[in-house]
Amino acid sequence: MQEMSTRQLADWLEDSDSPLREAVASRPKPLLLDVRETWEYELCHLAGSLSMPMGTVPARLNELDVSAAVVVICHHGVRSMQVAMFLAQNGFSSLYNLAGGINAWAHDVDLAMCKY
């Protein structure tokens, strides 16, 4: 599991969505796994992310593709780190924790995003 900065994730998502993607060797878009509570997700989230509150992850593990690149997101990066460690223990190998979480994203990448 690796830490990923908001800028690194923004670049990855931009690369994955690029119409020139076929012409360059880019990584496929990662699964954005948001482990915050539902009310937090409803306040703000990254487009295309999957809401799976931390407490539900063990019961919903079969919904996730063990071979996919997964970026785990929470508010500040603590819960997501715990979930990423759990996923690693369950066979996931391409794991990233978003350093600073959605809060850092709102301050560094999407300044219009709701902050709480």
Q: Indicate if 74 belongs to the active site.
A: yes
CA 76 to chain centroid, in Å, comes to 12
Q: In Å, how far are 16, 31, 39, 57, 58 from 2, measured between CA atoms?
A: 19, 15, 27, 19, 21
Active-site annotation holder among 74, 81, 83, 106: 74
Enzyme catalytic residues: 74
